[in-house]
A and B are shown apart, each in its own frame.
Chain A
C-alpha cells in the first residue's frame, strides 16, 4: 500500500510528538473550515441583541450556550471563530500556492537557462526582497485596491522571491548531474528536462518552504485585516473579530483573546509540521 519511504515518513511523524500535535491541531482546524456550517453551534452572523458581550458559558433563555461568549452585537464568538477559519486557511494557502507557483517556475527557468534571463530574474528577486514581507504586501494591497482577490495576490506576490531563490540554487547544483547530462545527450527537449528530470528533485524543498510560509501568511493576513486593509469586513475572519473586539476589550476580554488564540494555535500547528518536515528531510538544517 505504501512505498517504503512513505512508511518511514509516517513513522517519523508518529514518533515526533510535536509533529503529531501539529497534525492533530491542523486537522481540527481544517475540519472546522470544511464543515463550519454543521459544526458551529449557531449562525455566526445572528445577533442575539439581548445577550451582547455575554461572558463565556452564558446560556440564553432559548437554551443556546455561548461557549466562548458573545461580541458587541451579540454574535456567538465560537461560531465566528469556526467560520473565520475558512477565510484564513483559503487566503493563506492560495496566496502561498500562487507565490510558490511563480517562484518555482521562475527559479527553474533562471537556474536552468542561465545567461541574461537568469540575471533579469535574480534582479527581480533582489528588488522584491528589498521591502520586508509585510510592507510589500501592504504596498501591493494599496495598489490593487480592496477585495479578497487583491489580498491573495498581494500576499502571494510578496512571497514568490524566496521560492525563486531557493529553487534556482538547487537547479544550479542539479544541472550538471550525470542523469541530467544524459538526458541532454539523448536530445531531450529543455521543457522535458526541466519538468521531468529537475522539478521533482526541487519540489520537496519548495514544499517545506511553503509549509513554513503558510503560518507567516496567516499572521500577515490577520494583521492587514486588523488594520482594515485585508479581508473585507462582510466576510467573517479572525483578523476582523480581533479588530471588532478591540473596541470593547476592557469590558469583554474573551472576544480578542479567543479569536487570537485561534490564530496562534493554527500557526503553531503549521510551524510544528513545517519544522518536522524540514528536519526529517535534512536533520542538519536545524536552525
Chain B
C-alpha cells in the first residue's frame, strides 16, 4: 500500500476513535454517574436535584441528550460554564496552550537526554554511565511525578531560589514543570534506547555492512541507529499520551493554568460542562498524538507501509 493511503486510513480510524471516546465519556458520566448529583451541595433535597436536572436538560431521554450533545460537539459548542459566564469551549481553548507548551518542552528536554544517555549506556555497556543510567531510569520509573515536582520546588525554588516555584507567563516558570514531566519520558526511553541499540547490533545487516567495508562510525549511525530508533519512536509516542495525562497532576502542583489545572478546578467547583469538555479535549490530544506517531512511523520505516499493523 502506498504511504498516502495508509495515512488516509489511519485518519479515518482516528476519527472513529475520537467519536468512540466522546461517546464513552458521555455515557460514563451520564449513566454510571449523575451530573446533577455531582453539581449540588451534599445537603440538597430531591426537589433541588429535580429542578437542576430540568434546568440542564438531564431529565430528557438519554438518546436525545446524546444526539444533541454530539451535534453540538461537532460544532465545537461544549455548553456554558456553570461558574463563569463563558463558554466551556472558550475556557478549554485558553488552557490548551500552556499544556502544549509544557508537554512540548518536556519532550524537547526528555527525548535528547534519553537518547544520548541510552546510546552511551549501550556503546559502553557495563561502564559507569551504563550503571548510573540504569539506576537513574529505574528510580525515575518509581517516582510519582507530582512528588518529584514538590521536591524540585523545595530544593530549586525555595532552597536555592534559582527558579520560580509556580505560575505561568514567563519561560522561567515553565522550566521546573517541564523538567518534572520530562522524567516520564527519560525513565522509559533511556532504557529502551539502550536495549534497542544492543539488539540492533546483533543483526545480520551489521555484519554485512562491516563485510562491505563500512567503518564502525558508519555502521553505528547509518545502519544500527536508524533501525534501533523505530521502537524508540513508538514508545515516545506512547509516552506523549502519558505526558498529556501526566500534566493533569503536574499542572496542579505548579499552578500552570493548562488543561489539567482547569479540569481539577472544574471538578472541585462542580462545573460539569467544563469537566466534560476538558476530558474530551485531553482525549482528543492523546489520540491525535498517536496519529502523528503512526505517520512518522510510515515515513521512517518502509516496512510499515505494506504490513497491516497489529
Contact = CB atoms under 8 A, between A and B. Distances in A.
B150 A256 contact: yes
Contacts of A256: 147, 150-151, 154
A253 B275 CA distance: 33
Interface in B238-257: 241-242, 244-246, 248-249, 252-253
A132 B141 contact: no
B21 A142 contact: no
B20 A272 contact: no
Nearest to B18: A130
A264 interface: yes
Contacts of A222: 144
Contact of A135 (B252, B264, B282): B282
B143 interface: yes
Contacts of B154: 249-250, 253, 256-257
Given A130-B283, A227-B249, A267-B142, A249 B150 contact: yes
A263 B144 contact: yes
Contact of B141 (A139, A223, A271): A271
B180 to A, nearest CB: 13
Contact of B28 (A139, A242, A246): A139
Interface string A139-159: 110111100000000000000
A257 to B, nearest CB: 7
Contacts of B172: none
A130 B20 CA distance: 9
Contacts of A130: 17, 20-21, 24, 283, 286-287
A238 to B, nearest CB: 9
Given A223-B146, A260-B150, A268 B267 contact: no
B33 A142 contact: yes
Given A130-B17, A143-B33, A250-B158, A223 B144 contact: yes
B37 interface: yes
Contacts of B244: 132
A11 interface: no
Nearest to A223: B249
Contacts of A227: 248-249, 252, 264
A249 B152 CA distance: 11
Q: Which of A133, A223, A265, A267 has the most CB of B within 10 A?
A: A223
A122 B274 CA distance: 31
B156 to A, nearest CB: 13
B262 interface: no
Interface residues of A, number: 40
A287 interface: yes
Contacts of B144: 219, 222-223, 260, 263-264, 267
Contacts of B268: 228
A138 interface: yes
B192 interface: yes
Contact of B147 (A126, A132, A140, A264): A264
Contacts of B158: 249-250
Most buried by B among A130, A253, A257: A130
Interface in A170-229: 215, 219, 222-223, 226-229
B146 A132 contact: no
A131 interface: yes
Contact of B24 (A127, A138, A229, A249): A127
A144 B150 contact: no
Interface string B267-282: 1100000010001001
Contacts of A268: 138-139, 142
Interface of B: 17, 20-21, 24-25, 28-29, 32-33, 37-38, 138-139, 141-144, 146-147, 150-151, 153-154, 158, 191-192, 195, 241-242, 244-246, 248-249, 252-253, 263-264, 267-268, 275, 279, 282-283, 286-287
Given A131-B21, A142-B275, A144-B32, 13 more contacts: A132-B241, A135-B279, A138-B263, A143-B33, A145-B38, A215-B142, A223-B144, A223-B249, A228-B268, A250-B158, A253-B154, A264-B139, A264-B142
